[in-house]
Amino acid sequence: MTTKRETILARIATVLAGTTGVSDRIFRSRTTAFTRAETPSIIIEPQNDVVEQTTSLPTLDHTLTVRISIVVRSGTPHQTADPTVENMHSRLMADLTVNGNAIDIQPADTSFEFIDADQSGGIIGCEYDIRYRTNVDDLSS
């Protein structure tokens, strides 16, 4: 069995396939540097998963914070990444239940990191809070 968290993260990767300018360059928690040919790309990273038991029912309420980063190479990375960010956001928000696995998706923070390399670049990080529920004794349902 797979946890609901992992199911949600896998579904996000599926939904974002074909995002403007990215094609299939979508990675989960990538730690290696990108070559020029590999940009623009998307990296999907779970940031944290806060859990609460808010009722007497045997359920847990989760808030999974996911950072979706768009990596680009350009002298104006925030402008170059903008069409990709817009399309990524539209794709993600089109199904707020993440194929029936979540209660809601809420956009959170957006950050901008400018990188000096052989060619200027940037990472635009978009965070989303995804609320979902599991059983107390089973994180897969």
Is 140 within a domain? no
Confidence (pLDDT) at 30: 86
Domain with residue 22: its CATH number is 3.30.70.1700
Is 32 within a domain? no
**Contact by Cβ (8 Å): 66, 88:** no
The SS3 call for residue 79 is helix
Residues in CB range of 7: below 8 A, 6 or more apart: 101, 140
Q: The pTM is what?
A: 0.93
Confidence (pLDDT) at 49: 97
Confidence (pLDDT) at 32: 87
Per-residue pLDDT of the chain (141 residues; tens, 9 = 90+): 799 999 999 999 999 999 999 989 999 988 888 888 889 999 999 999 999 998 888 999 999 999 999 999 998 998 999 999 999 999 999 999 999 999 999 999 999 999 887 778 999 999 999 999 999 999 998
Is 141 within a domain? no
Residues spanned by the domain of 57: 4-27+37-135
Is 82 within a domain? yes
Is 44 within a domain? yes
Rounded-to-integer distance, Cα 98 and Cα 11, Å: 7
Is 113 within a domain? yes
Q: Single out the residue of 129, 60, 38 nearest to residue 92, CA to CA.
A: 129
User: What are the helix (H) ranges across 17-108?
Assistant: 77-93
Rounded-to-integer distance, Cα 37 and Cα 34, Å: 8
Characterise 98 by phi-psi region: left (phi > 0), alpha (psi -120 to 50), beta (else). Answer: left
Quote helix, strand, coil % in the chain, to nearest 5: 25, 40, 35
Instruction: Provide the token pair at 103.
Output: 């209660």
Confidence (pLDDT) at 59: 95
The SS3 call for residue 57 is coil
Domain count, the chain: 1
